[in-house]
Chain A
Amino acid sequence: RKEVEQDPGPFNVPEGATVAFNCTYSNSASQSFFWYRQDCRKEPKLLMSVYSSGNEDGRFTAQLNRASQYISLLIRDSKLSDSATYLCVVKTGGFKTIFGAGTRLFVKA
């Protein structure tokens, strides 16, 4: 079993749609959680950190459920510019950072 697993995708949605990404992690000792965005042939960029209380940044909402070892990202009112790969990232203390394989999102006009 992979340490971090994401929906395989790709997701194809129309502009204005709401889309949800799911991620599970296997190590209950994991301490920090993030969502990164990666555009085609570019480096990953931090989208948002994920906290147990949930956090929101404009159209983006991230949730963490430690009991279920589950992380989610919700994008409301999708824009064409949201088309990218979304990477779930888990840090288990110190140096160890584990990326999921990513879920590709295509937003179409």
Chain B
Amino acid sequence: ETGVTQSPTHLIKTRGQQVTLRCSSQSGHNTVSWYQQALGQGPQFIFQYYREEENGRGNFPPRFSGLQFPNYSSELNVNALELDDSALYLCASSPRGAGTSTDTQYFGPGTRLTVL
């Protein structure tokens, strides 16, 4: 296994609510990325954190935000949930620093979010 864990496994929320998803990276991995994967699609990059700072963002609105902590854990927060936010949310950690384009990413098992 990759050593990357995510919680919770599944979550059901209603439209307009807020949600926090958690990820625990491998020890020593100082880069974490978050992805959204809708059914039948590939993962879409949300943002990346490096040493507790956001250092890159995909085409997602500001209601998607994150945090990274010194203990290699991180959070994805989504405010004002919409029906289209229903998806599998994946985090991926990397052992080397941001900007290393050849860096291998290790994915967690994901959190499946359903918005009703």
Contacts from A to B (Cβ < 8 Å): 4, 31-32, 42-46, 49, 87, 91-102
Interface residues on B, range: 20 to 34
Closest B-chain residue to A95, C-beta based? Answer: B56
A49 surroundings in chain B (CB, below 8 A):
102, 104
Inter-chain contacts of A102 with B (CB < 8 A): 41-42
Once A42-B109, A43-B109, A44-B90 are accepted as A-B contacts, the answer to whether A97 and B33 lie under 8 Å apart by CB is yes
B90 touches A95 (CB 8 A): no
Q: Is the CB of B101 within 8 A of A93?
A: yes
Mark B97-116 against chain A: 1 for CB-CB distance below 8 A, else 0: 01101101101111000000
A99 to B46, CA, bound (A): 12
Asked if A97 contacts B105 (CB within 8 A), the reply is: yes
Known: A45-B107, A95-B45. 20 other contacts (CB 8 A): A31-B102, A43-B2, A43-B90, A43-B109, A44-B107, A45-B2, A46-B104, A49-B102, A49-B104, A92-B101, A93-B101, A94-B99, A95-B56, A95-B99, A96-B45, A99-B35, A99-B44, A101-B42, A102-B41, A102-B42
A101 to B93, CA, bound (A): 21
Output the nearest chain B residue to A46 by Cβ-Cβ distance.
B104
Interface of B is mostly: loop
Cβ of B55 within 8 Å of any chain A Cβ, yes or no, is: yes
Can you pick out 8 interface pairs between chain A and chain B where the beta carbons lie within 8 Å of each other?
Answer: A45-B107, A92-B101, A93-B101, A94-B56, A95-B33, A95-B56, A97-B33, A97-B105
Q: Say how far B32's CB is from chain A's closest CB, in angstroms.
A: 11
Q: Which residues of B contact A32 (CB under 8 A)?
A: 101-102
**Min CB gap B115→A, angstroms:** 18
With a cutoff of 8 Å between Cβ atoms, the chain A residues found around residue B98 in the complex are 94-95
CB-based contact B102/A43 at 8 Å: no
Minimum CB distance partner of B56 in chain A: A95
Instruction: Please report the C-alpha to C-alpha distance between residue A99 and residue B108 in the assembled complex, in whole angstroms.
Output: 16
CB-based nearest A residue for B57: A95
